[in-house]
Amino acid sequence: MYDSTYRLFAGILHCVPLALMPENRPVKRIGFIGLGDMGLPMACNLLKAGFDVTGFDLRPERLDLLKDEGGLGSGSVGELGQNSDVVFVMVMTGKQVAEIILGDNGLLKSMRPGSVIILSSTIAPSDALEVAVPVLNGGLKMIDTPVSGGKSGAENGTLTIMAASDQETFDNCQDVLKGVGERIFHVGEEIGMGQTVKAALQALIGSTFTAIFESLVLGAKAGVRGEVMHEVFGASGVGSPLLKNCSKLIMDRAFKGTGSQIATMYKDLGISMDLAKQNGVAMFTTAAAYELFQSGISLFPDEDNWSIVRLLEQIADTEVQW
C-alpha cells in the first residue's frame, strides 16, 4: 500500500511546475518555527552564518533566547511566513507540521510564490508527502530534510542532513543548509525520501542504544568497572561517538537535560516500525528496541534516552558506575 501511494504522490510531484525565487534577491530572511533543544541552536547558527532569522515558538521564553542572540520573534506563523524567503519547520509531529503549513494562518497561505519550506521535523514519509502536494501546487518549494546529530550537533553546526527535493531547490539552498549542518546528503528528489532515510537510520540508532544499555548492565553485574567498558568498547570495532557519549552519560548518571528525550526516540521508532509494516519488512531488533523504549517512557516520561538503563539495572539489581 505504501509503495503505490508513494508512486502516486511522486508522480504528482514531478508534474508540479517550480516557481522562481523572488527577483534575484539573495536568500537572507530565514524563518524558524520550533525553537526547542534542536531548533534554537540551529536558528542561532543561521544567525552566525549571516542570515536574518525570525523565530516562532509557543513558549515566549524560547523566543527571548533567540532575541538574546540577535534574532527576531514573530507573533504568528502567518506573520513569519510573510516576511521570510525560507522557513524551517522543526516541530514534533506530522499533525503539527500539517497545521503549521496548511492551516488557516499557515505557511502555504502566507509565503510568497518561490519561497522555500525546509521540513526538518522527523515525521512519517506519508505525512511529508501529503503536505508536499498542496505546497508545490501552490507555487512554493519544499525540501524534506530531517537531521541527525542530536543537541550537540545542532549546537556545533555539525548535523547530518538528509535532503530530498528537486536538484535546483537543493542547489539554491546550499548556503542555508550549510548554516546548520556539516554533512549534507541529497538522498532523492521525491518528497518523503528524506523521512524514509531517517526512519531507517533511527531503527539503527534505537537498536544500537538498546545494545549499549544491555552490554553495560551485563558487564556491571558481572563485576566489570564502567571505566574499563568505556575504554574497551570505545576502542573496539564498534566504537563510535554515539557509544562513547552514551556510556559516559550513563556512568555520569546524566538522565535529564541532555537534549535526547525518550519521547522523541520512541516516536521515531514508531515511525520506523510503521514503515516496516507498510513495506513487509521484519524488524526483530528494532521491535525489541521499540518495546524497551515504550517501557522507558512509562517509567521516565520526562527524561532522556539513557534513563532506560535504569530499568535494566533494576531487573539485574546492579548499577553501571565508573
Q: Which residues are catalytic?
A: 198
* Torsion angles phi and psi, residue 34, rounded to 5: 105, 90
In contact, 322 and 301? CB cutoff 8 Å: no
Cα atoms in the Cβ-side hemisphere of radius 13 Å centred on 187: 23
- CA 3 – CA 279 distance, rounded (Å): 7
Assign 148 to helix, strand or coil: strand
Separation of alpha carbons 2 and 296, rounded Å = 30
- What span, in angstroms and rounded, lies between the C-alpha atoms of 54 and 34? 11
- Answer left, alpha or beta for residue 157, where phi above 0 means left and psi between -120 and 50 means alpha: left
Name the grid cell of 174: 546550499
For the packed helices 226-235 and 193-221, what is the interaxial angle rounded to 10 degrees?
A: 140
C-alpha span between 115 and 140 (Å, rounded): 5
Alpha carbon 133 to its chain's center: 21
